[in-house]
Structure 1
């Protein structure tokens, strides 16, 4: 897929849908699947019909799909319409088949909801729930690092979604801020499952050309193909520190070697004692092992020291040896989340954690400052678009 998935970043409501940039294979196509409507269906207006949706505006365009904001005539809700063109020679991108097949089976409050699939001779359209923005845009609107409570709330939802798909033996394989969608209330949802895979039992090997470079773990950079859920945990750890610090933590490199050097400069260079089997990885070279001692994360990313238990959670996620990384389920009960109400752990999978009383986003510092300047500081300042 390469290191940059799309020439243009997904816009608000885009569902992470324009970040394909991936090859296609011939495929007969997806069969229509009916999804349960979020509200009562209007009689006489069917699922699976192009006439059931009104196109409002183009949101973004990728290599294989264009995404539009629309409205459903079935239930009068806003939707995001991801439209694939069916080329006679190329066929349908295999990632579209994979994404549709997986999302049919995933029903969770922190996974983007696939409402409907529409197939014609010329196009295949995925109808997603409409989301107002993504984490990348949210962080761009609030530079310098997010408010610690909001980091906590976003991270809890991210891990909650990850724990769910990992229990289903599914790997996302492309976690990054652009693929984490956020509603106007602060709900966070995993999106863009084009690279996701159902992990078979017994285990099989997978491609090492997954995950955008900045969020790719060192074992995969070294050519590992027998990874598991630890792949997503590394990416989530990178996103976590980025939310706290306000900038990507392993950024600005042009290839796998430079990316590894960036990681080793922080974590130190592992050896066979700390990472059994390291020398057997396909891309391992002795010259990559230079003398570098690990550093405390907070010494480089100073904002981690201001949030209780943040450095410890980040360190447990960003461990070079993949089997040493904490699981998503265990991370949910890490002390970092202790300020959140314990009721969050009892919320059903299909229900948002924001339904728990008093659990909501708090205004970011720049929102508070802007509201103070305008002279109308209020709860409405928590809106972020």
Structure 2
């Protein structure tokens, strides 16, 4: 029954823009921060210190020291951080080291501080674990658990759509992680397959909270330049800055369809206009009756868009029709009117998940779904032709496992 709380308007401060198909692009300091550089870092510490050491580790002096980790190969590079694979010299475990360069004159990048302070309090099996924070003069290093791949790479490796049972387990875990952060008034704001890490056992973990926001006083509006274009909801594309947890739920719908169908739901190729056209082509061009307030959004000019009528989702993505309740669940996420989108918590109780073991709903936050007997990933069939043939003969995808 937390829907009332979810609807509350949730805003902090304006954030400047980031590139559409972005890896990280530079996010300038928040508007409210005075130009006097000395106050910059202090201003971000609202009531607690993001660099404070966890109290549980006083006995191990090696945590929090730069030389406690050995750098291995580089994994990736964004505009303000480089990520390396690393190894803890304390326990030999693999880690991911996100090294953020601190330009002397600029102070700590805000995205970094935001990410560090938000993640420090989050302890959940479906959220990437932040082990340690190392602050030196030149760098701020966030030490994360090492997770060997992400959903984007996993889907590339298994083209043509994933095994329907695996889609269900990935989606369940995504919703578990989101439900946990949304209950804590945190939005992720940049859901896309690259930001969903997949461990070798099939655990899915939300990562890259560089754009995440703790929801607080509804005093300012947000930036509408969030979320990679393909996973960005129509309200945000149309310039709405008044958003809540329903922002993330649109992305969930897009990712769900992409896992099932094997292609991105709305792969816009040009610009915001093109992205919106693709959405309206399937869901129908919005009007004031189906979406109260749409006419007053900054970028909505009715004459700008072809008027399309809504279609069944399986007309656009045929594989939704092969899996019980999948189309219905997807349509509850892909609602143009934000307030109509299903919450993460409600989605976990959808009929689509009804054939999973009941114990999954009783797990502790830190317990993996794979601790429940008979819950395991199926082998993906790389051969999409064979999959289609098998499906067509039965009319439905044959389920490889008995849950």
Same fold (TM over 0.5): yes
Which residue is 2:397 aligned to? none
Q: Distance in 1 between matches of 2:100 and 2:307?
A: 49
3-state SS of the aligned residue for 1:115? strand
Q: Distance in 1 between matches of 2:60 and 2:286?
A: 63
CA 44–102 in structure 1, closer or farther in 2 if over 3 Å, else same? closer
Find runs of 4+ consecutive structure 1 residues off by over 6 angstroms.
367-370
Which residue is 1:3 aligned to? 20
> TM-score when scaled to structure 2?
0.84
Shift of 1:74: 2.2
Deviations 1:116-159 (A, max 9, x none): 00011111100000001000000000000000000000000000
Q: Distance in 2 between matches of 1:357 and 1:70?
A: 32
Which residue is 1:32 aligned to? 51
Structure 2 counterparts to residues 190-209 of structure 1, below 5 A: 190-202=206-218, 204-209=220-225
Q: Distance in 1 between matches of 2:256 and 2:383?
A: 21
1:72 is the counterpart of 2:88? yes
CA 31–330 in structure 1, closer or farther in 2 if over 3 Å, else same? closer
Shift of 1:290: 2.9
CA 299–89 in structure 1, closer or farther in 2 if over 3 Å, else same? same
Q: Distance in 2 between matches of 1:35 and 1:147?
A: 40
Query: 177, 180, 190: which is aligned to 1:164?
Result: 180
Shift of 1:91: 2.9
Residues 86 and 122 in structure 1, CA contact (< 8 A), matched pair in contact too: yes
**Structure 1: runs of 5+ lacking an equivalent:** 7-19, 371-385
CA 233–87 in structure 1, closer or farther in 2 if over 3 Å, else same? same
1:267 is the counterpart of 2:273? no
Deviations 1:72-107 (A, max 9, x none): 122221100000111123332210011001001111
Deviations 1:255-310 (A, max 9, x none): 11111101000101111111111111111112134321111110110111011100
Shift of 1:36: 7.9
Q: Distance in 2 between matches of 1:358 and 1:68?
A: 35
1:319 is the counterpart of 2:335? yes
Query: 119, 123, 131: which is aligned to 1:103?
Result: 119
Moved more, 289-298 or 216-225: 289-298
Which residue is 1:21 aligned to? 25
Which residue is 1:303 aligned to? 319
Query: 48, 73, 82: which is aligned to 2:98?
Result: 82
Shift of 1:63: 1.0
Q: Distance in 1 between matches of 2:107 and 2:299?
A: 34
RMSD of the TM alignment (CA)?
Answer: 2.1
Deviations 1:296-332 (A, max 9, x none): 1101101110111000000000000000111100000
CA 62–270 in structure 1, closer or farther in 2 if over 3 Å, else same? same
Which residue is 1:240 aligned to? 256
Q: Distance in 1 between matches of 2:55 and 2:290?
A: 49
Deviations 1:240-260 (A, max 9, x none): 000000010100322111111
CA 201–86 in structure 1, closer or farther in 2 if over 3 Å, else same? closer
Which residue is 1:381 aligned to? none
